[in-house]
Structure 1
């Protein structure tokens, strides 16, 4: 290798090392934030396994597959009830269904989406008589 090639490699390596040093502190903060999120998720999961029967936990998992925001809302309510001492025993699947119903009703009262699909059709071209009228004109 020529001296110029070696010098170019040295400069590139020096620049790479400087960039790594500069991003190391940012990476440490990101790693700490990620570790904090993992600890919180682990604590939530642990608490939920303590307060839900296996059937209820399974249903909540299926709800999460369909609508994650609803499952998170239910989890938050259950955790709040557990932390305030309002749960006397593990939550059963039937109790979870009741809680889901209450959340759905509250969401409807707030004007949230209820899962209903409304189709508004435009008038005009869907009527067979209109098609016959058009064909007469031709």
Structure 2
């Protein structure tokens, strides 16, 4: 059975190492220049490819056959593990749509700029979370508003 240890962060870090071990976008360059856009495009594409690969491995494991654990406790444990694995894959499926949206923003020239304020999101935030659509400040304000509306 596949492990759920290869979460989004591990996959993203692996993509970064494969993509450009000798280049990291820096503040000494013009913000969202062609080289930075190419870096983030390739990073997003590699991240998406890695997610699809992991999903394919999960699908293959599911097709290999049902669990045949003799002990009820072992069977319950295996079913719990599969449930966690499938929830992880569902979360990654949703992440793929965010990756596609980020790629469209690169194509339209909007990538790297906050969808709320229009300000630059910042390279450090984009390196950490390439699908970010808001600055840290705008994201925090959004989360505060969300929390207030949930409390009502």
Greater share of helix? 1
Instruction: Tell me the TM-score normalised to structure 2 length.
Output: 0.26
Instruction: Tell me the TM-score normalised to structure 1 length.
Output: 0.28
